[in-house]
Structure 1
Amino acid sequence: MRTSLIFGIVAVVFGAVALGGALSSSPIVSGGFGLAAGVMGLAAGIINGKDGDNGD
């Protein structure tokens, strides 16, 4: 669980940087960090789904 939490926090930070890049009209920063945030969020979800207790 701790690893997925760390990945989730990193995804939020990357998302915030992507939002800042979008607001400052920088498509390279916005796109790159937005993609990184998506990948990190997906990784956090996969790790949480694999290791977490889903009540099964």
Structure 2
Amino acid sequence: MILNKFGKQEAEGRGFREVLAGAVAEGIPVLVGLNALNKAAFETFAAGLPTECPPTLEALTQ
């Protein structure tokens, strides 16, 4: 699953939060864009599960 970004709505507990959590619970790989403004909220939401992916084709295809 690719989500353009974890934005303001998700940071505030709305938006695609439940969709993201459901995908992870089902074992679906998830790629999420993130900016510095929402990084703290994302880290709290993700509870240590994510791995940062460099913006390279090689990293994305792995």
Q: TM-score range by the shorter chain?
A: 0.3 to 0.5
Larger strand fraction of residues: 2
Larger helix fraction of residues: 1
* Structure (1 or 2) with the larger CA radius of gyration: 1
Structure with more contact order per residue of length (Cα contacts < 8 Å, sep ≥ 6): 1
